[in-house]
Amino acid sequence: MGEGSERALISLYADERERDTAFGWYHLAFGLSAIPAGVLALLCALLLRFWSFSDPA
């Protein structure tokens, strides 16, 4: 899903009075999920870097 369609779903299902709060919760969840994803990507990159330069003997 693209960001535009995600925003359209939020505005479709959220009440008009609570729409700003729904967008805030969406961005909070997205931001909090990006932190462990970035850490995992860093660990995978480091593991791949050290694994590719290790001596096979």
pLDDT of residue 21: 95
CA–CA separation, 36 and 16 (whole Å): 32
pLDDT of residue 54: 62
- Tokens at residue 5, please? 């369609």
Predicted confidence (pLDDT) at residue 15 exceeds the cutoff of 80: yes
Query: In this predicted model, what pLDDT tens digit does every residue of 30-56 receive, in sequence order?
Result: 999 999 999 999 999 988 887 766 666
- Tokens at residue 55, please? 């001596």
Q: For the full predicted model, state whether its pTM sits above 0.85.
A: no
pLDDT of residue 24: 95
H/E segment holding residue 44: helix 19-52
Sign of the dihedral through C-alpha 40, 43, 46, 51: negative
Among residues 35, 37, 11, the alpha carbon closest in space to that of 22 is found at 11
